[in-house]
Amino acid sequence: MKILAIANQKGGVGKSTLAVHLAYAAQDAGLRVLLVDMDKQGSLSLTFSPTPTDTLLASSLFSEEPSKAAPLVVNDGLGLIRADNGLLAIDKAENQVIRHPSKALRAFANDYDVCFIDTPPLLGVRLMAALSAADFVLTPVSVGLYELAGVMDLMQTIHVIRTQGFNPRLKHIGILPIKINNRSGEERAGLESLRAKYGSAIMAETLPERAPVRKAIANRRPVWFGTKGEGHLKAAIEWQAACKAVLAKIGFGQ
């Protein structure tokens, strides 16, 4: 099982929307998918219907003794470890718990092909634990002063994870521009500035802000399902291309 953390220390950049679509795309490619929601806001968990309470919860991943509970089975080939209120206490825990989720998730290595972790929008134990457990990290980023500052902070956090013995194998696969307003000259200039600063770390694919994406999430389905109209078709093409590119970067597809 390959593990990808979707991380940005700035909130509101579409991490959960990206995680959901990566899960749909991976399933379309025939992969068995495990989703982990480490964000207390629980947007990833809310994407799916109300669930039983006896399944594995995200806060349990931080226990020294692994839980005997199993992820929620959303459908054949898709599992979910849901966010819960216990996550609020995790960032106050001792740093040694940072290593526990890696061990807990590896227990499912034979059950799933790929795992996507939706991380909280702040530096803390949960984000560091997600990066410590992951093989790869992807950074979705909007173009703006605060958002770009968040990217620099995250790069420093990744450096710490790699060099301080937490996870030297962690590979940053790229920065994905998301929620871009193509009509804004300021945002286009910001995107060019981003490419100038980070070069090939910026993925070629971009995900403009489009209403059909929000509607698709509200309907609990990928934006490429049942396309209607030019805007919807554009969104479908953009999101499928971006998801396929991400999957290829972690070893699935061309």
Q: What is the pLDDT of residues 219-249, one digit of tens each?
A: 889 999 988 889 899 999 999 999 999 999 9
pTM value > 0.85: yes
Half-sphere CA count of 64, side-chain side, radius 13 A:
4
pLDDT of 148 > 70? The answer is no
Which CATH architecture group holds 2-250? 3-Layer(aba) Sandwich (3.40)
Q: Which of 189, 133, 113 is nearest to 6 (CA)?
A: 133
pLDDT interval class at 112 (50, 70, 90): very high
Element (H, E) at 20: helix 15-28
Distance between CA 60 and CA 19 in Å, rounded?
Answer: 21
What confidence score (pLDDT) does residue 54 get? 81
- Mean pLDDT rounded to a whole number for the chain: 89
Strand partners, 118: 6, 37
Q: What is the pLDDT of residues 64-96, one digit of tens each?
A: 888 889 999 998 999 999 999 999 899 888 888
What confidence score (pLDDT) does residue 144 get? 61
Distance between CA 72 and CA 166 in Å, rounded?
Answer: 28
pLDDT of 187 > 80? The answer is no
Mean pLDDT lowest among 41-55, 114-128, 221-235: 41-55
pLDDT interval class at 188 (50, 70, 90): confident
Query: Which residue has 């060099």 as its token pair?
Result: 163
Strand 136-141 versus strand 33-37 pairing type: unpaired
For the residues 161-185, what does the mean pLDDT come to? 87
Q: Tokens for 245?
A: 């590119």
pLDDT of 197 > 90? The answer is no
pLDDT interval class at 205 (50, 70, 90): very high
What confidence score (pLDDT) does residue 242 get? 96
Residues in contact with 47: Cβ distance below 8 Å, sequence separation at least 6, in sequence order: 16, 20, 217, 220
Of 186 and 80, which is predicted with more confidence? 80
